Amino acid sequence: MLKGKTALVTGSTSGIGLGIAKALAAQGANIVLNGFGDAEGPKAEVAALGGQVAYHGADMSKPAEIEAMIAFAAEQFGRVDILVNNAGIQHVARVENFPVERWDAIIAINMSSAFHATRAALPAMQAAGWGRIINVASVHGLVASAEKSAYVAAKHGVVGLTKVTALENATTGITCNAICPGWVLTPLVQKQVDAKAAALGLSNDEAKKLLLGEKEPSLQFTTPEELGALAVFFCSPAANNVRGVAWNMDGGWVAQ
């Protein structure tokens, strides 16, 4: 379905981003990966699915590096047709104890990076008359949890940016939508499981059950594969008129 299209997925060396990149590659898209850590393993996983794959190591807290990455993707494959703004980090602390440097980093990486990548990618999409922008927000773009001020502020901001981008391009073939996962068992969440296990003297499994039980009625983690399938739907012709939604895939978290 996506043969000949190019998808750039930020923060795709791990977790949800890698799951989405693989789902888009399986539909025939060329993929530009981004993120820290080992890039060769993720590149091989994506390449095994058929399409071409490239990697750019832009730090998503740095606007000039984001612009360079969009230009690199265009040099490699012609242009970015599908932009998935996914890179993100977490820090947990009460507002009065929240380190200012962590606040600034979360706002930059989880929110402002989506603005910078979107503004750099849009002109080529507009010239082509087709594009898909998918912002990986969170249930925390819709509701809050204590001790996550920066993350919740950034994710609400991403949902707002999604709606504005969708509206500004509403008469074109460019759509912009957000995905709002509940708990997904990636390294980002495993850290929170580990912290709970250490604080309460629990095993890994007990801490996972407690984490799910607090928020997610299904008591199941959403998977990167399920989120990848939702991203593929947003790229499909059936989603041509899906514009500006914030779609939660969260085991019932936000229904409560």
Which residues are identified as catalytic?
Answer: 151
Q: Cβ atoms within 10 A of the Cβ of 209, count?
A: 14
Among positions 183, 228, 231, 232, the unique one binding ligand NAD when judged by CB under 6 A:
183
How far apart are the C-alpha atoms of 209 and 21, rounded to whole Å?
29
Report the residue count for the chain: 256
Minimum distance, C-beta of residue 113 to ligand NAD, in the bound complex (Å): 7
| Total residues at interface with ligand NAD (CB under 6 A) | 29
Phi and psi at residue 244, in whole multiples of 5°? 80, 20
Among positions 86, 118, 149, 162, the unique one binding ligand NAD when judged by CB under 6 A:
86
Phi and psi at residue 249, in whole multiples of 5°? -130, 90
Of the candidate spans 121-129, 165-173, 184-192, 240-248, the one that interacts with ligand NAD by CB under 6 A turns out to be 184-192
Span 194-223, contacts to ligand NAD by CB under 6 A: none
Of the candidate spans 48-56, 87-95, 122-130, 238-246, the one that interacts with ligand NAD by CB under 6 A turns out to be 87-95
How far apart are the C-alpha atoms of 136 and 155, rounded to whole Å?
9
Decide if residue 109 touches ligand NAD (CB under 6 A): yes
Minimum distance, C-beta of residue 171 to ligand NAD, in the bound complex (Å): 29
Decide if residue 251 touches ligand NAD (CB under 6 A): no
DSSP-based three-state secondary structure for 7: strand
How far apart are the C-alpha atoms of 174 and 8, rounded to whole Å?
15
Decide if residue 27 touches ligand NAD (CB under 6 A): no
How far apart are the C-alpha atoms of 113 and 86, rounded to whole Å?
9
- Helix (H) or strand (E) holding 159, with range, is helix 149-168
Nearer to ligand NAD, 51 or 88 (CB): 88
**Nearest CA among 8, 18, 10 for reference residue 45:** 18
Decide if residue 106 touches ligand NAD (CB under 6 A): no
Nearer to ligand NAD, 78 or 107 (CB): 107
Minimum distance, C-beta of residue 173 to ligand NAD, in the bound complex (Å): 26
Span 39-68, contacts to ligand NAD by CB under 6 A: 59-61
How far apart are the C-alpha atoms of 232 and 225, rounded to whole Å?
10
Decide if residue 35 touches ligand NAD (CB under 6 A): yes
Of the candidate spans 20-28, 34-42, 48-56, 205-213, the one that interacts with ligand NAD by CB under 6 A turns out to be 34-42
Looking at residue 51, the DSSP 8-state letter turns out to be S
How far apart are the C-alpha atoms of 174 and 188, rounded to whole Å?
30
Which parts of this chain interact with ligand NAD (CB under 6 A)? 11-17, 34-37, 59-61, 86-89, 109-110, 136, 138, 181, 183-184, 186-189
